[in-house]
Chains A and B, each alone.
Chain A
Amino acid sequence: MAEPQTPLLSIRGLEVRYETDEAITHAVNGINLDINVGETVGLVGETGAGKTTTALAVMRLLPHRTGKITEGCILFRGEDVLRKSNGEMRQMRGERISMIFQDPMTSLNPTMTMGEQIRESLEIHNKGMSAALTDARVDELLTMVGIPPRRKHEYPHQFSGGMKQRIVIAIALACRPELLIADEPTTALDVTIQAQVLALMNELKESMRTSMILITHDLGVVSEMCDKVAIMYAGEIIERGSADDILDDGPHHPYTVGLFNSIPDIERESKRLSPIAGLMPDPAALPGGCKFHPRCGDAADACRSLAPPPFVSGEHIIACHKFGSSNGGRI
């Protein structure tokens, strides 16, 4: 068991809204999350659950006109990221916190060579590093992700999707960051390449002792990669625990159960997939009480009016009326 330690990243009561002329979208509604050094935390949920918004809030890369952090704090090694100046934040980005985006096809600049794009990261955070040394490091990074360094003079359109994502990984890891946020890094890749990229990320993370937030909706990926898991629904974390807690047969939030049931079982013969009925609520008009109650088979009266209290069992926390409350407060 790991002894208690100060987490590398600690998100407390984070609320993020997107404000446009038409509506206020409540994308993230008061979430708490801790990531310890060397840990991989999986952030799981449907599209629109607020996973990417959470990540962008940590990077302070929310769209600056519409995206607003209205509540909460994000502590990175005890310092509040939200209080940093733009200049201080720029120095953290890419050096201490890096991010890998979902679609490698669009996340590289089509008019710059791959070498230049990796180099850029190094140049921003290693001012005064000699050109020869930087070049050597670019080659080293390319080798590390399994791409021949001689290809650094080529442009993104000359690479396949999997190779592009490797280069995105090389860029993200160029300055050996303490925290890597990977936003669905394999969703846009085909299945055979997915495994390769995940294995590569795992290997590099181990060797650099980087902590990782892995955003995904793939529970298979979670079971392979993550130490801890947080399940998000409509901007809230509705269940959180170690990977074992989430993957075992113990008590679960009805939404988590639904997620697992929607995975087709290879050993059981079934004619149809069993998805969770209904759609995620419109984050501009969230329902009262438990946000999941309109889709929940077990919904009772309390679910419609009261926010569910957390049920805590060790590290495992579930926000559902079904399990009653063990203490006050939110997850």
Chain B
Amino acid sequence: MLVPMLLAIIFIVYGIMSLTPGDPAQLILGTRASPEAIAGLRHEMGFDKPFVVRYGEYVAKAARGDFGNSWRTGRPVFQVIAGRFPTTIKLSLAAVVLAVLVGVPLGVLAAVKQYSIFDVIGTTIAMFMASIPGFWFGLMAILFFSLKLRLLPSNGADSLKHYILPAVTLAIPVAASLLRLTRTTMLETIRQDYIRTARAKGQTEGKVIFRHALKNALLPVVTATGMEFGGLLGGVVTIETVFSINGVGMLIIDAIRMKDIPQVTGCAIFLAASFMILMLFVDILYAYIDPRIKASYQKMN
């Protein structure tokens, strides 16, 4: 499933990039180049060939790990991404961990104490937080924590301290949606018959919630967390720009601005592939949590 998906993604990304206006050869050589030189470069780079042929050549090269060279710097695209990717991964991983640590327990609390003050405040704040755009929140955070209080650095990714603001900014909407989802699934789970069975055994309320309800309620939350993680990989584009962090997001924005087509294509494909690998990982994790899914996989093999 991964391979055809990747081929389709490459097709779409590569196709969109080819449809963008502007002649690449002209872009590289500048406005004062002679028409002959431009035509020569076009031929050299293969832009005079039909799209399908170029796509085929691109895929063939990509399969060997060659995504072309950046037009701007001349360095291999893949190498540039590999240099930037760890920063992005660290940032989004920190955000996801933070979001899960905050969102899931608060969601459980809101469900177990439904209609209590925890529930009302938790869900109301979550609704606001989920609606606030990330870049706005990031800018406000910089204004307050960096400029006013001078507590935290506003840009770069040099130390752990640098990660705090961007990670929190990224985590907030994710935590908010995880809170709401956990609350919903938990409410549904604690109304199940097997929860009543556990209570009828004389089990303590804490164990009823943590041993019986939580595992069942977390199944959809695990999927959502994986999706959110993938979403974050795309979401870092704005946040990395706001906080001037040299990650893949920043790279893609710069590349778009410079019309560095191989770099943009490479980044987009790379992010899409990461997303797919993440979802695969979530599926595998799912099988470990839910014995019914494991059983259906075993039947298939």
| A 113-131 to B, binary, CB cutoff 8 A, 1 in contact else 0 | 1000000110011000000
Interface of chain B residues 183 through 216 with chain A (CB within 8 A): 192-194, 196-204, 211-212, 215-216
Q: Does B292 contact A (CB under 8 A)?
A: yes
The interface residues of chain B lying within 8 Å CB-to-CB of A95 are 202
For A93, the closest partner residue in chain B by CB is B202
For A87, the closest partner residue in chain B by CB is B204
Interface hit among A8-16, A97-105, A192-200, A223-231: A97-105
The interface residues of chain A lying within 8 Å CB-to-CB of B215 are 111
State whether A101 and B197 are in contact (beta carbons under 8 Å apart), knowing that A91-B202, A109-B216 are contacts in the complex. Answer: yes
The interface residues of chain B lying within 8 Å CB-to-CB of A113 are 291
A75 to B211, CA, bound (A): 32
The interface residues of chain B lying within 8 Å CB-to-CB of A94 are 200-203
Q: Does B7 contact A (CB under 8 A)?
A: no
A111 to B287, CA, bound (A): 11
Q: Does B52 contact A (CB under 8 A)?
A: no
Which residue in B197, B202, B291, B292 is a CB contact (below 8 Å) of A107? Answer: B197
Q: Does B289 contact A (CB under 8 A)?
A: yes
Q: Does B16 contact A (CB under 8 A)?
A: no
Q: Does A92 contact B (CB under 8 A)?
A: yes
Query: Are the CB atoms of A121 and B194 closer together than 8 Å?
Result: no
Query: Are the CB atoms of A106 and B192 closer together than 8 Å?
Result: yes
For A118, the closest partner residue in chain B by CB is B201
Query: Are the CB atoms of A110 and B202 closer together than 8 Å?
Result: no
A208 to B200, CA, bound (A): 19
Query: Are the CB atoms of A157 and B202 closer together than 8 Å?
Result: no
Query: Are the CB atoms of B193 and A120 closer together than 8 Å?
Result: no
The interface residues of chain A lying within 8 Å CB-to-CB of B291 are 110-111, 113, 155, 157
State whether A109 and B212 are in contact (beta carbons under 8 Å apart), knowing that A103-B193, A155-B291, A155-B292 are contacts in the complex. Answer: yes
Which residue in A90, A91, A108, A124 is a CB contact (below 8 Å) of B197? Answer: A108
For A89, the closest partner residue in chain B by CB is B202
Q: Does B290 contact A (CB under 8 A)?
A: yes
For B194, the closest partner residue in chain A by CB is A109
Interface of chain A residues 118 through 160 with chain B (CB within 8 A): 120-121, 124-125, 155, 157-158
Query: Are the CB atoms of A124 and B202 closer together than 8 Å?
Result: yes
Interface SS of B by simple majority: helix
Q: Does A81 contact B (CB under 8 A)?
A: no
A113 to B193, CA, bound (A): 16
The interface residues of chain A lying within 8 Å CB-to-CB of B115 are 65
For B199, the closest partner residue in chain A by CB is A61
Query: Are the CB atoms of B200 and A59 closer together than 8 Å?
Result: yes
Q: Does A168 contact B (CB under 8 A)?
A: yes
Query: Are the CB atoms of A120 and B201 closer together than 8 Å?
Result: yes
Q: Does A41 contact B (CB under 8 A)?
A: no
A125 to B200, CA, bound (A): 12
Q: Does A171 contact B (CB under 8 A)?
A: yes
| B 269-298 to A, binary, CB cutoff 8 A, 1 in contact else 0 | 000000000000000000001111001000
State whether A106 and B216 are in contact (beta carbons under 8 Å apart), knowing that A95-B202, A157-B291 are contacts in the complex. Answer: no
A90 to B204, CA, bound (A): 7
| A 175-191 to B, binary, CB cutoff 8 A, 1 in contact else 0 | 00000000000000000
The interface residues of chain A lying within 8 Å CB-to-CB of B289 are 111
A117 to B200, CA, bound (A): 12
A248 to B211, CA, bound (A): 50
A59 → chain B closest CB, angstroms: 6
| B 115-150 to A, binary, CB cutoff 8 A, 1 in contact else 0 | 100000000000000000000000000000000000
| A 249-270 to B, binary, CB cutoff 8 A, 1 in contact else 0 | 0000000000000000000000
A46 → chain B closest CB, angstroms: 21
A94 → chain B closest CB, angstroms: 4
For B115, the closest partner residue in chain A by CB is A65
A92 to B202, CA, bound (A): 7
B56 → chain A closest CB, angstroms: 47
Query: Are the CB atoms of B292 and A171 closer together than 8 Å?
Result: no
For A120, the closest partner residue in chain B by CB is B201
The interface residues of chain A lying within 8 Å CB-to-CB of B212 are 109, 112
A59 to B201, CA, bound (A): 10
For B200, the closest partner residue in chain A by CB is A99
Query: Are the CB atoms of B295 and A107 closer together than 8 Å?
Result: no
B207 → chain A closest CB, angstroms: 9
A225 → chain B closest CB, angstroms: 21
Interface core residue of B115, B198, B292 (most chain A CB under 10 Å): B198
A2 → chain B closest CB, angstroms: 29
Knowing that A95-B202, A101-B200, A157-B291 touch, tell me 16 more A-B residue pairs with CB under 8 angstroms.
Answer: A61-B200, A65-B114, A92-B202, A94-B203, A106-B194, A107-B197, A109-B212, A109-B216, A110-B216, A110-B291, A110-B292, A113-B291, A120-B198, A120-B203, A171-B197, A172-B200
Can you name 12 A-B pairs with beta carbons within 8 Å?
A: A59-B200, A61-B199, A65-B114, A65-B115, A93-B199, A103-B193, A109-B197, A109-B216, A110-B194, A113-B291, A121-B201, A157-B295
The 10 closest A-B pairs by CB, nearest first: A94-B202, A93-B202, A106-B193, A94-B201, A155-B291, A107-B193, A109-B194, A99-B200, A90-B202, A121-B201
